[in-house]
Amino acid sequence: MPRKSYVRPDGRKADQLRPVSFDPDVAPASAGSVLVRMGNTQVICGVSVLPEIPRWMKSAKAEGGWLTAEYSMLPYSTTDRARRDSASGRISGRSQEIQRLIGRSLRAVVDLKALGPRTIWVDCDVLQADGGTRTASITGSYVALEMAVRRMLKSGELEVNPIQDSVAAVSVGLLEGQALLDLCYLEDAAADVDMNLVMTGSGAFIELQGTAEESPFSGAQLNRMITLGRKGIRELLAAQARVLSPRR
């Protein structure tokens, strides 16, 4: 008998994103902020600007500024209470990995020299986790960063726009032999392969993170996942542009 196609928990098609939305200005004290929702995953992304650069840049006499990120899951973001990193006295390996990824992804589209001697901090706090928190953080952080930079240009703090391209990220995976876009938690936990793609608005790759949990995957399967990821990122870029368009 032919094998039945995998049915997604929320009834989506294999190539369909979860509902995506951006609520801007959720943190009024920040330079730019947004609450990004991808399905049941919700992340607040906020930008702060400090008029200083890291010590290592001063020592190296490096020109320009810096951009870095912090990521955390709030205790009530999961059904079982997530322990704060501060409670253990150190940042977990997972949090370090994700915040480095967020920072790398944004720095890839920013001219750091054009920032001048300042540091941009991007804070991502997960309100609710249902898979894809790192990709939602990257996608939302770009919106918050764009808002902050536009305000700095308007106020005269910046003379040149340092943002050279947009950036978005999405998850893909293989489950029961089927390539899927934008995995929710149930799918991510059961996936044979899970992968995260980070891409620019011009279509260039910033990062690919992919792992086979059990059996290796083929080149054809990889190509199918990348094709799905590209489709999803194009849709995310369009959603970013819609929320930012009225603010130009």
Provide the residue type at 41 as one letter.
Answer: T
The pair of three-digit structure tokens given for residue 236, joined into one six-digit string: 């995310």
Query: Is the four-CA dihedral 147, 153, 159, 165 of positive or negative sign?
Result: positive
Q: Can you give the pLDDT at residue 1?
A: 38
Rounded distance between C-alpha atoms, residue 64 and residue 201, angstroms? 24
CA 36 to chain centroid, in Å, comes to: 10
Q: Would you state the torsion angle of the CA atoms of residues 73, 119, 148, 141, taken in this order, to the nearest 10 degrees?
A: -30
Q: In this structure, what token pair is assigned to residue 19? A: 């509902």
Contact 142, 110 (CB under 8 A): no
Report domain extents, the chain: 20-247
Task: Calculate ∠ Cα 46-57-34, nearest 5°.
Answer: 10
Q: Give the homologous superfamily in CATH for domain 20-247.
A: GHMP Kinase, N-terminal domain (3.30.230.70)
pLDDT, position 2: 43
Hey, is 79 helix, strand or coil?
coil
Nearest to 215 by CA among 174, 170, 171, 187: 174
Identify the pLDDT of residue 222: 96
pLDDT score recorded for residue 247? 56
Mean pLDDT, 10 residues at a time, the chain of 248 residues: 73 97 97 98 98 93 95 89 76 89 98 96 97 97 98 96 98 95 96 97 96 91 97 98 82
CA nearest to 102, candidates 72, 122, 85, 83: 122
Phi, psi at 220, each rounded to 5°: -65, -40
pTM of the model: 0.93
Question: What is the pLDDT at residue 3?
Answer: 52
Entry field: residues in the chain: 248
How far apart, in whole angstroms, are the C-alpha atoms of residue 10 and residue 16?
A: 11
- Cβ proximity of 135 and 31 under 8 Å: no
Distance CA 81, CA 76 (A): 6
